[in-house]
């Protein structure tokens, strides 16, 4: 059966700087010897780990899952994985957009924990309204990705959410 390329991407709350990619392809192609990952940002540049001289990341074929230490804040990415031969001929390509939100989701959960510890926080209209705005911005990023694979709109929403979390002393 010929290769049907596919991959998933995920994040963990404890390590929001890491992206985990897992190759979920089915079938095979004996000519494939390696993979490349392109992480396209909304500004048109490629995200790579520090010290990487190319605009792509090598992904060894023997590794079903790889972790990429590339994030410093919530980021929307269009991720392309290429399956290549030993002479760099692209055999298959798959591109999917993702919103990586572990930084702000962790902050949001902290707000929920604070709310449980001090129920009076919800009496503050400003506190509760800002928490709701944060949720709306995160949901807007998810919706931009799931509805239209729109990393530009998703990143704009994530930037607004990040503004709230990094300037929390003004809002909470």
Share of the chain above pLDDT 90, in %: 93
Contact between residue 29 and residue 2 where contact means Cβ atoms under 8 Å apart: yes
| Cα dihedral 137→22→1→83 (10° resolution) | 90
Domain that holds residue 128: 102-171
Provide the CB-side half-sphere exposure for 42 (13 A, CA): 20
User: Which tens digit of pLDDT belongs to each residue from 15-71?
Assistant: 999 999 999 999 999 999 999 999 999 999 999 999 999 999 999 999 999 999 999
User: What is the C-alpha separation between 166 and 146, in angstroms, rounded?
Assistant: 26
- Give the residue from 73, 100, 127 where a domain finishes: 100
- Give the residue from 49, 75, 100 where a domain finishes: 100
Q: Does residue 1 sit within a domain?
A: no
Q: Does residue 46 sit within a domain?
A: yes
**12 and 63 both lie in a single domain:** yes
**25 and 49 both lie in a single domain:** yes
Per-residue model confidence (pLDDT) at position 122? 78
Q: 119 pLDDT band (50/70/90 cuts)?
A: confident
The pLDDT of residue 106 is above 90: yes
User: What is the C-alpha separation between 81 and 23, in angstroms, rounded?
Assistant: 9
User: What is the C-alpha separation between 77 and 89, in angstroms, rounded?
Assistant: 24
Q: Is the pTM of this model over 0.85?
A: yes
Overall domain count for the chain: 2
């Amino acid at each position: 059966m010929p290769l049907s390329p596919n991959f998933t991407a995920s994040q963990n709350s404890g390590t929001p700087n890491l992206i985990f990619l897992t190759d979920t392809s089915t079938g095979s192609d004996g000519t494939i010897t390696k993979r490349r990952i392109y992480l396209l940002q909304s500004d048109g540049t490629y995200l790579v780990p520090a010290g990487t001289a190319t605009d792509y990341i090598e992904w060894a074929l023997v590794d079903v899952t790889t972790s990429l230490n590339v994030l410093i804040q919530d980021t929307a990415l269009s991720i392309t994985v290429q399956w290549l031969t030993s002479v760099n001929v692209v055999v298959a390509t798959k591109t999917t957009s993702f919103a990586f939100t572990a930084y702000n989701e962790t902050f949001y959960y902290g707000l929920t924990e604070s709310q449980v510890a001090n129920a009076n926080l919800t009496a503050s209209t400003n506190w509760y309204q800002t928490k709701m705005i944060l949720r709306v911005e995160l949901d807007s990023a998810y919706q931009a990705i799931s509805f239209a694979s729109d990393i530009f709109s998703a990143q704009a929403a994530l930037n607004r959410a990040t503004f709230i979390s990094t300037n929390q002393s003004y809002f909470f």
